[in-house]
Chain A
Amino acid sequence: MQRAVGMCFVCLAVLLLAPGCERREQLLGVFALDPAAEDRLPDGSLYSSSTQTLLRGHHWLDSVTELSLSATLDLRHGTVTLRDSENTQTLQLRAVPLDQLVPRLYYTPASPPDAFDAFNLMMAEYSRNGLSMPVGDDGDVIAHFRTTLRSTDPWTLDGAYDFQPNPQFRPYRVSVTNNCLGPGLWELAAVDRAGELYHAWFSIPAEVYLPLVARANGLDHSFTASALTWDPGPRPLDLERLRTERESYGEVPTTPVQQREPVGYSSQGSRQKIARGFVRVEKEGQLAAPVTLGELTALPLHLTSFVAPGKYSASQRRRFDLDFLAHPETAEIRRVEPRTRYAPERGPDSIDHSGAPHLEIRIAFGSRKLVLGNLPLPLLVEQEDFAIHGFGVGILAAGDLAERRALLLRQGPAPSYAFLIERSGHESLVVNTHELGLEQIFLRTRPFADPPHWEITLSSYERIVDLVKYRVPIPEPLLESLMESSRRYVSPLYFSYRDDNLR
């Protein structure tokens, strides 16, 4: 009996104390922070696509010169610590899911992994991948930050309308981003509700970074190192690894639409890029602001370059020729069964819409085809865009709330894929679309329109501008199901989670 009682106390002690215990971590390194990497315009303002607030340059974070990164033994979660040299304040990002921030293969690769797997890992590495975290408490399992900064007032008043920045302001959110320029280039940013109050860059050396990627994917180091090396060339395609083909709904004519409409964007993050002249077209030898959507494909396109360590260049542009996008021919729609999964350990039953039909849409442009696949039919609705964040497999959003990301990976549907492929003899090769200037795809389903159709939008390199919109008729056999999807639709939390319901 006494032993039993003793055991009870031990169990009780364990139960009571366990939540306070932290997982053991190892220090991966201490890295220098550069908060002044951005180009400046002649008037001294930063050349950035982000809103810079009153606090930028006046915050305590600007006094921090380095960060330390530690990780759990399995390298899945990390802690990022910032403190100033005087140790007056600290800010610590906790439960940072490192395995969500490094490139991942969200399917079962070949054994041993082959060129197609390497291609997909490279496409993910060269896609921007950031997580934004709120302030949290002990015991939070989703990424969050803790800080000794307590003030929630970003500014004080010295008189009517005389705003004084508060250096001790606790940021609204802090984000970590593995940027798209190359392995190991990362960014740290803090925001208030209006925009950035802090942004800095840091590099994680290959000896630290590559093991994170290899461990997260179960790959060996040499393959990982090789896969992450930039290669602009085409590679062999193996879609069977990502899905199983089912019946085809045939081919439908596809047309570009809204060619005479003003240029625009599918996500708010691009609004400032357009407003600040990130987009130019070549007209009669001169660079000019585009007027209509059609000009973006009809004329040579010049977009502001994104350069190391991960900033927009005030002086360099990249030139793209996207004329082929203006000439779609047909689209083939097919049902597929996904073989992709965000978290293989979850098991098939936990995947949202796992039993629902999934579609693959192939839009032909002469010898090229745009392939969009594993599109879950219940999420193809009238109310919201279905976004594919990049070319490759399951490319994650460039910047995501940590909560949404956690929910997506826990509950979300089978990852979708997007490829541009071209024929080479009898072989289908997958093209590196980063070189072509393509990045995102948005699908809006209009099952109640006359005629029912999908509106498919392709957006550009660095998500700067929408490039082209297509109208793809919905095949009759799918119409009723798509109508029902819209009728039943309520956004999944992994799309809609927000800190508030304010606008």
Chain B
Amino acid sequence: MTTASPAQASAMSQRAVRRPSRWVFAVIGLLALYGAHRALLERVREAIDSGGRIYSDDPKPFAAPAALDAAPSPAAVRAVAFEEIDAFDSDAADWSSLSSHYVSGVLVFDANGDGRLDVYFCQDGQNWTRPTDEAGVLVDEPRRQHNALFLNQGNDDEGRPLFVQAKELARANKTFTREELLIEDSLFPRSSPEELENRPGRQSVVALAADFNGDGRQDLLVGNAMPGMIWSHPTTQHVLSPFISPEGRKSKYEKVSLPAQGLAFIDYTPRLDEAGRRVSARGDEALAANSLYLNLGDRDGDGLPEWHDVSRSAGIEGSLNTTSLSVADIDLDGDLDLLVGNVMDADFFPIGAKAWAGGANELYVNQLADTGELRFIESAAAMDLDGVYDDENPMPDYFRLRRVPWLPAEYSFVFLKYEAYQPGFLQINGEEGGRGQISWATVMQDVDLDGFPDFWVANDMGFLRWYRNIEGRRFEATPHVASRTSGNWMSLAAADFDGDLEEDLFAGNLGGAVFSHAFPRSNPFALFDPTIESATASSMFINGMHDTRHVIVRGGAPSSQLRPKVRHSSVLPPDAALPNNIRGFRSIPNDLPFDADGLDPYEFTWGATTFDVDNDGALDLYYIGCLYGRGGGLAAILGTGPGRLLVNRWDEGDGVHFEDLTAEYQLFNIHELQYDRLADDGYVYRRSPSKNWQKRELVYSYDRSSWALQGPEIQRKISNQDLIQTAENGKGAIAADLNGDGFADLLVRNSGGYDSRSSTATNLKTRRDGRELVVPAHNYFFPVPTEYEPGSSRLFVNRHHENRWLRVRLVDPSPGSFNRNAVGARVIVNARRLRVHRAGSGSFVSNARDDLHFGLGADGVARSVVVHWPDRERTVTRLELPDLSDGTLTIDKSDGRVHWMPSGSRSEQPIVAPAL
């Protein structure tokens, strides 16, 4: 046994003391680390909250919404309500649904050359959507539809146009019926109207009329889609939380399964159909083959023209999902060329995917002038117009959260750094989607006035492109005022809004409701590898590189835009116009100034059309649009455009400014809406929808709901006007003078679905064991399905009669010219009003082929006209006119003769129009 010395004992004693002190320090150190970690996590939580949550940088005091106490303006008092008429039979409605067929368009043109405008409805020829009976019970078969041409039979005594469907006229005359019914666009056309209608057809989206072969008759071009269903594959289904606040009071993950069966009620296997083929009367054809029908005239005199299918021989069928058609003589060789705007196969709809898919655009160059044969050569890639993403045409920057290397993912939220990236291309079942863009709309416009027509292309989740025509040899994507940021571009409408004789361009976007939308918190971890939609949202709200507001590109100066002020509706202003409703996002205060008194608050747009509602000379704008369903569907509030008529008041000084007179003209795209208390009490109302509606039986324009992000702790609130949520699922809108009274009427197309807003709608029911049972929504995140309601096609007849007007018809029968109607011509009346002749309006899936229309004001007359013809010589015709109004002026380029046909007359007379 040894004994420790005193020194050793002292040392041991010190060790005994030191040993626990090191342990203590270690523990304290660990605790400190743990505390720091907890503090970090707290910070992370805050960062996560603020990253996914809207907040108010500028909590403006609640101010008086104009809707509540504004006096009506003189223009509002002068407004004359449109009359909605029941002009078409049920074949004009859309009996399909979002899952079967995204959209069906409309075309207005004079099919039979009788001087009256007819209407052609595109339909879903492969529709599998089953409608319901009167009790809301699903029936056993879908209502498959063929395209339907309604021929204008003149007006009734009250000036309402009367229409008869082609099949009814064909019934009355047994000759040429196969040729007359060809434009139903069935795969195997009927030979007579007695044959079965419910036969497979093409899935038609958009149609356009133009005289392609220069014979003086309007031919018909139909753009078709392939089978497809958005969100049908799990890869594309990460979509919901950016749109809706999820169930319950907790934040939910970004990915919410969106089973296709829930939307479609059928078994469906997604696949890439761009190369798909099928058999038709043409033989073997692409699933999305387009159709070109040459107008042969009405040889049997039954009021119904006959047609000849030249789709195959003209080489114009294509194989992609077509949504837009624009015609122009791009090389000024005297024939009409064609730009086809395409989108992805719907199975590859990328918004909820983490990779991209689109559709290449096509440019069909007509060989008629060179060869005498109507045949097109597809030249988009060769002329740099296909929009395919490549090195020369890079994608916009998308943004994702930058991952801090080495550390756990949570630590990245502390820094909240976003980085630009380009997503890959979407693959489903081993097939890669298209590398093009999602081009919903295209329109021709000679932006730089060099005589060669340029094109605008509206791309969703991409750029608004101005493709400048380089002397007919190629196109060049050219910078403009809105080209720095991407957008959700969906519609185009060209017009000289500010009267400077330079045509401007309205480009419709997702709209301003985004700025008053309560985004739910998303799963922040998903921001490392975001969906296209989330990446776009980051681009907008974090980096300021994406913008959802509408734009009016200034004519003659495309690097600037018109920023018109808008006097909002005194009845139902856009939600984002309510002063307390605009919420600051990170990027907004500096990068995206929001003008609540301008166009910025205006809602989602699909169809957009310009016309002179009261013939005062200034072009007005009407647009509608719902994104995924009535009231916006999944994108409620954010994707709901109830219809807006913005009346142009530039003649009143102070530059261009608009006034929203949708209520006064009774043009809201809302069914059952009552306007009888508007004048005296200042509000409109309707019976409440019977389903998916929480409030009382009547909904008034002053009713509002407030929404908040989830969780009782969250106090951010926004207000939405209830009535806006009753909007129909608007898609197409086009203005044209259907009753020939000199005032443009308005045609609106809506999509159908199991989402009725009717006050009498029932739940969707199925029959099971002999009983009718209500079908619940397929998961918590969807509204209750209702009985099926087809999408209405609404015709609003303009009842203005006060002001004068002039219609100008151009004819170019020159030898060697096949652009007989002078598509692309610029016409100026009285050195003050500019119109451009188009085939392909730019409005989403909506076109009209009509003469040029000029409003002349109360006592106005046309004293002069200048025509800039679309030819290489840049021919200009300048004529002095003998004070004309209320009639049609025909100008013949070949011999300079001018004819005049007063309103109401059926024959035109030559007039003397000296050259200016």
Chain A residues in the interface with B (C-beta under 8 A): 1-2, 5, 8, 44-45, 51-56, 134-137, 140, 142, 144, 152-155, 157, 159-161, 163, 172, 192-195, 197, 264-268, 271, 382-385, 403, 406-407, 442, 448-450, 483, 486-491, 493, 495-503
Contacts and interface: CB of A to CB of B under 8 A. Distances in A.
Return the 10 tightest CB-CB contacts between A and B, nearest first. A491-B706, A192-B776, A194-B776, A488-B62, A383-B704, A134-B248, A264-B697, A193-B777, A160-B266, A266-B696
Contacts of B703: 383-384
B694 A487 contact: no
B715 interface: yes
Contact of B31 (A8, A53, A160, A495): A8
Interface stretch (B239-247, B796-804, B812-820, B895-903): B239-247
B138 A193 contact: no
Contacts of B694: 268, 498
B776 A154 contact: yes
Contacts of B21: 1
Contacts of A450: 681
B141 to A, nearest CB: 10
B27 A5 contact: yes
B775 to A, nearest CB: 6
A385 B771 CA distance: 38
18 contacts: A1-B21, A2-B20, A45-B771, A54-B768, A55-B776, A152-B779, A161-B138, A265-B696, A266-B697, A385-B696, A403-B712, A442-B696, A450-B681, A487-B68, A493-B712, A495-B706, A499-B248, A501-B636
B200 interface: no
A157 B68 contact: no
A232 to B, nearest CB: 30
A382 B696 CA distance: 14
A399 B774 CA distance: 22
Contacts of B708: 493, 496-497
B281 interface: no
A53 to B, nearest CB: 5
A502 B68 CA distance: 26
A45 B135 CA distance: 15
Contacts of A54: 766, 768, 773-776
Given A192-B777, A193-B776, A503 B31 contact: no
Nearest to A5: B27
B154 to A, nearest CB: 39
B705 A163 contact: no
Given A172-B247, A493-B715, A487 B261 contact: no
A411 to B, nearest CB: 9
A160 B518 CA distance: 36
A169 B104 CA distance: 36
Given A163-B773, A500-B246, 15 more contacts: A5-B24, A5-B27, A5-B28, A44-B771, A51-B763, A134-B247, A153-B779, A155-B778, A161-B265, A192-B780, A193-B783, A194-B777, A266-B697, A267-B695, A382-B68
B472 interface: no
B867 interface: no
Contacts of B250: 136-137
Given A153-B259, A194-B774, A271-B690, A142 B712 contact: yes
Given A52-B774, A152-B779, A490 B248 contact: no
A153 B64 CA distance: 45
A276 B245 CA distance: 33
B634 A502 contact: yes
Interface in B10-56: 20-21, 24, 27-28, 31
Contact of B68 (A192, A486, A496): A486
A496 B249 CA distance: 13
Contacts of A503: 631, 636, 689, 692-693, 725, 783
Contacts of B247: 134-135, 172, 499-500
B775 A193 contact: no
Contacts, number: 201
A500 B245 contact: yes
Which of A154, A265, A268, A442 has most B Cβ within 10 Å? A268
A383 B68 CA distance: 10
B-side interface size class = 35 or more
Contacts of B267: 157, 159-160
Nearest to B715: A493
B24 A2 contact: yes
Given A483-B69, A486-B68, A501-B636, A496 B705 contact: yes
Contacts of B415: none
Nearest to B248: A134
Interface string B682-693: 100000111011
B637 interface: yes
B409 interface: no
B704 to A, nearest CB: 4
B615 interface: no
A496 B707 CA distance: 7
B128 interface: yes
Interface in B105-125: none
Contacts of B265: 157, 160-161, 163
B696 A51 contact: no
A155 B782 CA distance: 14
B529 to A, nearest CB: 24
Contacts of B779: 152-154
B592 to A, nearest CB: 23
A134 B777 contact: no
B130 interface: yes
Interface in B228-272: 244-250, 259, 261-262, 265-267
Contacts of A160: 128, 265-267
Contacts of B763: 51, 194-195
B88 interface: no
B636 to A, nearest CB: 6
B244 A501 contact: yes
Contacts of B248: 134-136, 144, 499
Nearest to A401: B249
B242 to A, nearest CB: 12
Interface in B620-649: 631, 634, 636-637
A282 B529 CA distance: 67
B679 interface: no
Nearest to B770: A44
B262 to A, nearest CB: 8
B857 interface: no
Contacts of B692: 502-503
Contact of B781 (A8, A51, A500): A500
A392 B712 CA distance: 28
Contacts of A385: 696
B719 A490 contact: yes
B702 interface: yes
Given A5-B27, A45-B771, A490 B776 contact: no
Given A172-B247, A499-B245, A193 B693 contact: no
A18 to B, nearest CB: 15
B296 to A, nearest CB: 41
A456 B746 CA distance: 40
B697 A265 contact: yes
Contacts of B138: 161
B382 interface: no
B546 interface: no
Contacts of B833: none
A487 B702 CA distance: 11
A407 to B, nearest CB: 5
B774 A53 contact: yes
A198 to B, nearest CB: 12
Contact of B681 (A2, A449, A487): A449
B698 A264 contact: yes
A45 B785 CA distance: 21
Given A134-B249, A160-B265, A403-B249, A487 B717 contact: no
A194 B784 CA distance: 5
Interface string B558-588: 0000000000000000000000100000000
